[in-house]
Amino acid sequence: MEQTAASASSVFDIVIWSGTALSLLGLLGLVYCIIRVSRAKRANLTDDAMRAELKKVVPLNLGALFLSVIGLMMVIIGIFLA
């Protein structure tokens, strides 16, 4: 019985830590998007060039937010089920 409890605990620990890793990866993606838009803003691009750059960043931003949310959900589920 003790081995089963220890292995169940380690499974939830894996879920929690992998969720943490996903959240951090999403956070890094968000920081990258912020830096990229900041550089474009400082470059004094034309309106059309700025729109083109922002159109490239939006999918990356949404993907980073998705990773972050999924990671946080994994952490919460791991904590509740542990």
Each residue of 20-67: pLDDT tens digit? 999 999 999 999 999 999 999 999 999 999 999 999 999 999 999 999
Contacts of residue 25, defined as CB under 8 A and 6 or more positions apart, other chains included, come to 67, 71
Q: How far is it, in rounded angstroms, from Cα 41 to Cα 50?
A: 8
Q: Is 67 helix (H, G, I), strand (E, B) or coil?
A: helix
pLDDT of residue 37: 95
Residue 44 has, within 13 A of its CA and on its CB side, a CA count of 0
Closest CA to 78 of 26, 25, 19: 19
pLDDT of residue 80: 94
The first and second tokens of residue 63, run together, are 């993907």
